[in-house]
Amino acid sequence: MLNLKSLAVAIPAAFLATAALADGETIAVFTKNQTNPYFQAVRVGADNAAKSLNAKVNHYIPTKPDSIPEQLSQIEDVIVKKPSAIVFIPVDYKAMVPGVEQINEAKIPVVNVTDRSAGGKFLAFVGADDYNLGLETGRYMLKKLGGKGNIVIIEGVKGSLTSIDRVRGFNDAIKEFKDVKLLASQPANYQRLQALQVMENLMQSHPQIDGVMAANDAMAIGAIEALDGANRKAQVIGINGTKEAVDAIKAGKLLASGDYNGFVQGCIGTMVAIRSLRGQPIVTEVVLKPTVVDNTNYQPYDAAVETRTCPTWDQAAAMATKTN
Amino acid sequence: MSTASDIAAPGARFHLSKDVVQIVYRLLAAGLLCLLLSVLTDSFLSMNNILNVLRQASLLFFLASGLTLVILTGGLDLSIGANIGLSACLAATAIKATGSPALGTLVGLGVGTLVGICNGLMVAKLRIPSFIATYGMLWVLHGVTYYYMAGETIHGFPPGFRQIGSGYFLGIPIPVYLMLGFLAAGTFFAQRTVWGQQIYAIGANPVAARLCGIPVDRRLILVYAFSGAMAGVASLVFLARLNSAEGDVGEAMTLPAIAAVLIGGASLFGGVGTVFGTFVGALILTLVLNGMNLLAVNASWQPLVTGVIVVLAVWLDMIGRRRT
């Protein structure tokens, strides 16, 4: 009797468990554009995680990079298609809040990645800390310069959260060293060519520049080209830890790059979404610790993102800053 | 201002002299800007900075010079920025795959020209308005480029190839020679050849041009092919200067190129404008950015200052012309 009773409980429970663990969920992954290698890394991370968990990923990317109206209409389209869950990077952390609210109304679980949305309900946030990334990478360079010298900052897109926070980090690092002088802080919109030209112009008015802090790798490498062209030397840092930056570090041209680790963000964001669908425990916030990639530790980054593997769930959970 | 009557006047001389007057005022606007900058900052008038400004203006000029011919016919080419992207990426691939800069150059010019010819065929043969035809082309090119690049960058080219963008001859950057070469050739073509004059005539009055026996279709295909070829030239100089190709390289350059043509005195209705005027237009746009970097204008104010100066420059010029 007792056995039968426990069996009666066990069978449906086993059924439930398999139902909850069924694979084949579809995850809609939203990224900002097709041009920045960072988001490619996020997408590869998401694909990688989904594949190992037997889920499917559909990518939604605005054809016009970082387009707010386009991402909004993509959200509307996706809600109609009802994916199992959404992994979401807002192109603008404020402007996309109404879009997130639509997802919430449609009761589709959603994980927020990279840029922390200003509103809406999410299962979890997975991202990096732009301010600390700027601060740590900036500090790293200033220490290498012996705590003195003339610095210029090359800013990203004015008003974007990543640029604001990274530049704030740079500035605070500079304030920590009283013999470091900030000569100029000029925008180049995360664009290589603009960074090259801004650097060329700054070199005209500043005969001595010791360090360049660029808010992303493409701009850092643009600045290096400008320095090379003028036969001048300065230490340059970038942010994102892209393959191109690693090559420049290996060649001794770039001092360091702050690792934003889009690949891992894509992995963990997707893992959280799938685990939540399967009723497994999740974490509610992962903010990756800033890592400065330099000529001593670049090896793990010196490979195409496609060849990397996601962290295990235990490793991911260990990085969590908030859990349920 | 009736553009048609300018052209209808017999002989090229009359409208040439009018063009000269117009150019003098454009040069005055540029001169005024230079004077202001040289008073505000010592570094502006150094030989280095002058070469620097010329080199920076060259990329914009390559694009804008081809576009000038299109605008002279009363058309518009919105695909030039996207054309740079595809030409640069394919040329980069060719160089990487074969190690031959010559082949890369051929691919860059070939792809650019081919895209231009497609635009020309759509406009001339299918009678699709140029704005729509080239806007459609813009999306097609972006699509192909983004798909092809998949968010990656191609970087690291042989030093021989890089000379086109970053080399010097007799202390003057190679792109500046290229710019002066195309300026002379473009001016000669537009003002002193039958084909050039036919292009003016088509823009002034397409119906009359057709009735006069001008092969309008063939000339239209020619100007769009030129515009595409110049995008190819720009893509090569771009690659050689930045040492890397990414999908969105030219994106930020389409509107400035159109602006350079219009600041240079061309009319969107066709029939009015010169390649030299466009050169001055490109110079004015470059000077504004150069000046703001030299003066370390706060990043937030830069878009506003750019806008005001561009509008002011054209307004002053219009006042000047009304007086004569």
Determine whether the interchain pair A197/B299 forms a contact, defined as Cβ–Cβ distance below 8 Å.
no
Q: Which helix (H) or strand (E) holds B56?
A: helix B47-72
> What's the mean pLDDT in A63-85?
89
Q: Which two tokens stand for residue B61?
A: 């000029």
B319 versus A102: the higher-pLDDT residue is: A102
A200 vs A218: CA distance, rounded Å: 16
Question: A16 falls in which pLDDT band (50, 70, 90)?
Answer: very low
Q: Which residues of A touch B243 (CB under 8 A)?
A: 221, 225
Q: Which residues of B touch A228 (CB under 8 A)?
A: 166
Beta bridge partners of A27: A57, A85
For chains A and B, CB pairs below 8 A equal: 104
Q: Is the pLDDT of residue A90 over 80?
A: yes
Q: Is the pLDDT of residue A159 over 80?
A: no
Q: Is the pLDDT of residue B81 over 60?
A: yes
What's the confidence (pLDDT) of residue B324? 54
- CA-based nearest distance A204→chain B, Å: 6
Question: B7 falls in which pLDDT band (50, 70, 90)?
Answer: very low
Beta bridge partners of A238: A257
Determine whether the interchain pair A63/B139 forms a contact, defined as Cβ–Cβ distance below 8 Å.
yes
**B270: DSSP letter:** S
Determine whether the interchain pair A205/B290 forms a contact, defined as Cβ–Cβ distance below 8 Å.
no
How does the average pLDDT of chain B come out, rounded? Answer: 86
Question: B314 falls in which pLDDT band (50, 70, 90)?
Answer: confident
Q: Is the pLDDT of residue A309 over 80?
A: yes
Question: B27 falls in which pLDDT band (50, 70, 90)?
Answer: confident
ipTM value: 0.72
A131 vs A172: CA distance, rounded Å: 9
> What's the mean pLDDT in A10-34?
67
Closest to B264 in 3D by CA, of B256, B272, B273: B273
CB A216 within 8 Å of CB A239: yes
| CA B116 to chain CA mean position, Å | 14
**A64: DSSP letter:** S
- CA-based nearest distance B116→chain A, Å: 22
Residue at B282: amino acid letter: A
B48 vs B61: CA distance, rounded Å: 20
* DSSP one-letter string for A9-23: HHHHHHHHHHHHT--
In which region does residue A228 sit, left (phi positive, over 0), alpha (psi from -120 to 50) or beta (all else)? alpha
Q: What is the CA radius of gyration of chain A?
A: 22
Q: Which of A151, A167, A185, A205 should be substituted to probe chain B, the one whose Cβ sees the most B Cβ atoms within 10 Å?
A: A205
> What's the mean pLDDT in B271-295?
89
Question: B17 falls in which pLDDT band (50, 70, 90)?
Answer: low
User: pLDDT per residue over B113-129, tens digit each?
Assistant: 999 999 999 999 999 99
What's the confidence (pLDDT) of residue B32? 84
B250 vs B237: CA distance, rounded Å: 12
* DSSP one-letter string for B146-178: HHHHTT--EE---HHHHHHHH-EETTEEHHHHH
A212 versus A316: the higher-pLDDT residue is: A212
> What's the mean pLDDT in A114-131?
91
Q: Is the pLDDT of residue B112 over 80?
A: yes
What's the confidence (pLDDT) of residue B19? 62
Q: Is the pLDDT of residue B12 over 60?
A: no
B47 → chain A, closest CA residue: A204
> What's the mean pLDDT in A16-27?
63
Beta pairing, strands A179-187 & A148-155: parallel
| Residues 6 or more apart whose Cβ sits within 8 Å of residue A36 | A65, A190, B151
CB A238 within 8 Å of CB A219: yes
A262 vs A265: CA distance, rounded Å: 5
User: pLDDT per residue over A263-298, tens digit each?
Assistant: 999 999 999 999 999 999 889 999 988 889 999 998
> What's the mean pLDDT in B189-209?
91
Question: A308 falls in which pLDDT band (50, 70, 90)?
Answer: confident
- CA-based nearest distance B209→chain A, Å: 39
Q: Which residues of A touch B290 (CB under 8 A)?
A: 201, 204
Q: Is the pLDDT of residue B2 over 50?
A: no
What's the confidence (pLDDT) of residue B16? 53
Q: Is the pLDDT of residue B82 over 70?
A: yes
Question: A3 falls in which pLDDT band (50, 70, 90)?
Answer: low
How does the average pLDDT of chain A come out, rounded? Answer: 88
Of A184, A201, A244, nearest to B155 by CB-CB distance is A244
- pTM for this prediction: 0.78
User: pLDDT per residue over A203-243, tens digit each?
Assistant: 998 999 999 999 999 999 999 999 998 899 999 999 998 88
User: pLDDT per residue over A166-209, tens digit each?
Assistant: 999 999 999 999 999 999 999 998 889 999 999 999 999 899 99
Of B289, B299, B303, nearest to A155 by CB-CB distance is B299
Determine whether the interchain pair A244/B244 forms a contact, defined as Cβ–Cβ distance below 8 Å.
yes
Distances (CA, A) of B113 to A271, B8, B116, B172, B277: 47, 32, 5, 28, 24
Beta bridge partners of A258: A239, A292
Ranges A123-137, A299-313, B305-319: which has the least confidence: B305-319
> What's the mean pLDDT in B293-304?
82
> What's the mean pLDDT in A66-77?
89
Closest to B203 in 3D by CA, of B115, B298, B108, B273: B273
What's the confidence (pLDDT) of residue A177? 94
What's the confidence (pLDDT) of residue A15? 46
